[in-house]
Structure 1
Amino acid sequence: MPRRVRVRFAVLFGLLFISSGAVLLGITYLLVNRPARKVVNVFHVSPTGGPRGEPVIRSGPGSEPSPAALDWLNDQLNEQSAKMHDAQMHELLVQSATALTIMAALSVVLSWLLARRVLRPMRTLTAGICRISASNVHERLAVEGPRDEVSELADSVDGLLERLEAALESHKRFVANAAHELRTPLTVERALLEESLLDRDATAESFRENFERLLRISTHQGALLESLLTLAVSERGLDRTEPVDLAEVVGSVLLTRLPETERHGVRIVNRVEPAPVAGDTALLERLVANLVHNAVYYNVPDGSVDITLRCHDRRAVLTVTNTGPEVPGDRVDQLFEPFQRMRRTAGDGHHGLGLSIVRAIAAAHDATLGAHARPEGGLVVDLSFPLLGNGGKTYESRPPSRAAAATTV
């Protein structure tokens, strides 16, 4: 903890004590310094007066004091009382200032020690946070003690470290999987090139065959890189949005994917209604295309894909349901991770990025993603987007989320 914070605390506490002490002494001085009542005493005086002509006061019985003598005596008493009062107030002021000076110095020292004691947990937190790096991000502060602001801050930091650890692990898995996916076609390309160079009896036909295989591998790598780029752009978030009708997006995608569905013998059931949302048209088309392609490819012969789009509770709900092989319930959430797929087939053109791209695009559009397996086989994917109001703003006016959408099983 920087020393300047401790100095500020000490100065603040000291000034607060000095100010309150000065106000208290001022109030005490004003209360004590109230004007005293005049002192009036009745005494008996001598009619002949004193040696210098002053009235002589007698206390014997039967003597009557004159009014002049009483006035003179009252003036003298009041004058003496005023002098004594002034002397006492001066003494009170001097002693109070001395006491305030001593307590001011003492308060500064106590404030310095108190600030050190108060900031000690913060120094511990700072040291713990500085100790944690990418190599030991699994460590936690784990502050013990009563529940207060410091422990709540420590728990918040621990939660942040936990999310950061999960993000780093996900990033490591993604990089490892991407490297594996790219290494395989590169190895095949190298083998084909070496075969063409080392084969002295190679003919034009064999060269042509190898070149066709290299072209297919290059196309496969291009599709993979394009998917990785789309995933990265989606996870970064949206820089701008525009009004988009999801119904038109679904219709455009289905028209494009019609030959694919006919080739797989899958029947499409389409029930949509206009649903204006705010987003990026190209990314939303990619989202719907990935959902339809996934539902068609992972299906059974003569299967079906049910697509519904409806508006409910100021949300546009897109649901894609397909028939297909049975999906274990504990694997549904894994399917939305990069490079995860139900079955692996070499050279099938699938990289396991389709549903992870769907999740990233949904998060960028502030949409809620949910998925669950059908008991009879297949998958149900629900996407809920904020509807676009008449004023051009979504009903849920919050900035697009840059975190991955939650997948519920």
Structure 2
Amino acid sequence: MTLFLLSGTALLAIAAVAASGGSRSSQTAPDGGTGQPATAAQAQGRIDELEQQLTQAHDTQSRQIVIGSAIALGVMVVISVGLGWFVAGRVLRPLRVMTAATRRITADSLHERLAIGGPGDEVKDLADTIDDLLGRLEGSFDAQRLFVANASHELRTPLTTMRASLDVALAKPGPVPETTVTLAARMRAELDQVDRLLESLLVLARTQHGEFTDSARLALGQLALTALTGRAKDIAAKGLTVRENRSDGSAWVWGSQTLLRRVADNVVDNAIAHNDPGGWISVAVRAEGDDAGAVSLVVESSGPVLDQRRVADLAQPFRRLGADRTGTGRGSGLGLSIVAAITQGHHGTLDLRARPDGGLRVTITLPRTDGRAPAEAPDTETGVAR
């Protein structure tokens, strides 16, 4: 359109110059002789008058040409803008569709494709290339999840065999050397740690694969209470004070019973394991947003001062913040990463914040179920409405 405008302007300038050039004519006439001075003078006056009229007519015509050309140029500019906008919209529409579809596709929906139709042009080739890339990514993700799940299952067999061997060695008749008993206890503790790690990998693979087979309506506060009750001995052993705030009775969510219970267990375990002796733990359930369309489980704990720039890394697998965050070094580094994966799988968000005076605040926000659903009494062990 810009080139068309420049060429039209140049054409208009050339037309104006050509039109004005014709008015520059000679104003002199040859002398017809001296024999008839009166007649010659009258003829010359008549010629001058005609030339003046011709010049005026030529100037008028030139102005009309310039004005007409300017109007035509303006009309063509408007038409060109309209046509350019229409053609650009038609050409860029598939690109907008591709952009929206690509933004919509995530790691949990790699099975979707752009599926752009139309003639085999460059845009169609680009869409087909992106679809092929999504297919390869989907295969890679599936292979990774399948490998983790299969490897975790296959490793359980030798773990079971090793436990059985320890039991047989300790159950032999006769006195068992103290060193053997100590070694067996240490080996059993390590085997338990490996078993917990494999279980965490299984949960992580299952969550990333979106396998929710036990969905139900759950009381978020009750899940937190169950997690605290099950760890009462650990809390007492460390001398921790628990502050509870579960007054929001509308904090019901819909999701996997097993996985959401694992979320509550992991955040409470994290608050206990990485706390100071004699510290405190705060558990609160609250509504989020003006329309209370979401509810949050907030678990805060005391502890050492953490670097906020590194706290976000705790949601990644096998990420720790040094020895002070691993305690005895027995942590697998998967606790909060499992929480993040399960929360994302339930269309929620996980927010990790370092407290200014030490410790960590974990906020898990999930969509709230319809509060008008039948309010059945929850199971005190699971928090499930039945």
**TM value normalised by structure 2:** 0.50
SS of residue matched to 2:244 = strand
1:379 equivalenced with 2:360 (yes/no): yes
The percent of aligned pairs where both chains have the same amino acid is: 31
1:259 is matched by which residue type in structure 2? K
TM-superposition CA deviations, 1:235-280 (whole Å, max 9, x none): 2222341111112111111111222112112211111122111112
Matches within 5 A, 1:2-401: 149=123, 153=127, 204-237=177-210, 238-272=212-246, 273-274=248-249, 275-312=251-288, 313-344=292-323, 348-390=329-371
Distance in 1 (alpha carbons) for counterparts of 2:141 and 2:309: 21
In the TM superposition, what is the alpha-carbon distance from 1:303 to its structure 2 partner?
A: 1.9
Distance in 2 (alpha carbons) for counterparts of 1:307 and 1:346: 22
Distance in 2 (alpha carbons) for counterparts of 1:346 and 1:305: 17
Distance in 2 (alpha carbons) for counterparts of 1:306 and 1:367: 21
Distance in 1 (alpha carbons) for counterparts of 2:363 and 2:129: 34
In the TM superposition, what is the alpha-carbon distance from 1:157 to its structure 2 partner?
A: 6.3
Distance in 1 (alpha carbons) for counterparts of 2:266 and 2:254: 20
TM-superposition CA deviations, 1:62-104 (whole Å, max 9, x none): xxxxxxxxxxxxxxxxxxxxxxxxxxxxxxxxxxxxxxxxxxx
**Gaps (5+ residues) in structure 1?**
1-117, 119-147, 197-201, 394-409
1:325 is matched by which residue type in structure 2? P
Q: 1:158 to 1:268 in 2, by over 3 A?
A: farther
In the TM superposition, what is the alpha-carbon distance from 1:301 to its structure 2 partner?
A: 3.0
Q: How many residues align?
A: 230
Q: 1:203 to 1:315 in 2, by over 3 A?
A: closer
TM-superposition CA deviations, 1:163-203 (whole Å, max 9, x none): 889979x98xx98xx99xx9xxx9xx9xxx9xx9xxxxx97
Distance in 2 (alpha carbons) for counterparts of 1:213 and 1:319: 36
Contact kept? 2:284, 2:298, Cα under 8 Å: yes
SS of residue matched to 1:332 = helix
TM-superposition CA deviations, 1:282-328 (whole Å, max 9, x none): 22121111101111211223322221101232111111122211221
SS of residue matched to 2:272 = helix
In the TM superposition, what is the alpha-carbon distance from 1:348 to its structure 2 partner?
A: 4.2
1:359 is matched by which residue type in structure 2? A
SS of residue matched to 1:324 = coil
Distance in 1 (alpha carbons) for counterparts of 2:237 and 2:319: 25
In the TM superposition, what is the alpha-carbon distance from 1:204 to its structure 2 partner?
A: 2.3
- Computed over aligned residues only, the root mean square deviation of the Cα atoms, in angstroms, reads 3.9
Q: 1:208 to 1:233 in 2, by over 3 A?
A: same
Q: Larger Cα Rg: Structure 1 or Structure 2?
A: 1
**Gaps (5+ residues) in structure 2?**
1-90, 92-121, 170-174, 375-386
1:281 is matched by which residue type in structure 2? Q
Alignment match, 2:29: none
Q: 1:271 to 1:334 in 2, by over 3 A?
A: same
Contact kept? 1:235, 1:363, Cα under 8 Å: no
Distance in 1 (alpha carbons) for counterparts of 2:129 and 2:243: 49
SS of residue matched to 2:285 = strand
Distance in 2 (alpha carbons) for counterparts of 1:150 and 1:279: 40
Contact kept? 2:240, 2:277, Cα under 8 Å: yes
Distance in 1 (alpha carbons) for counterparts of 2:299 and 2:132: 38
SS of residue matched to 2:361 = strand
Distance in 1 (alpha carbons) for counterparts of 2:352 and 2:131: 31
1:322 is matched by which residue type in structure 2? S
Q: 1:158 to 1:310 in 2, by over 3 A?
A: farther
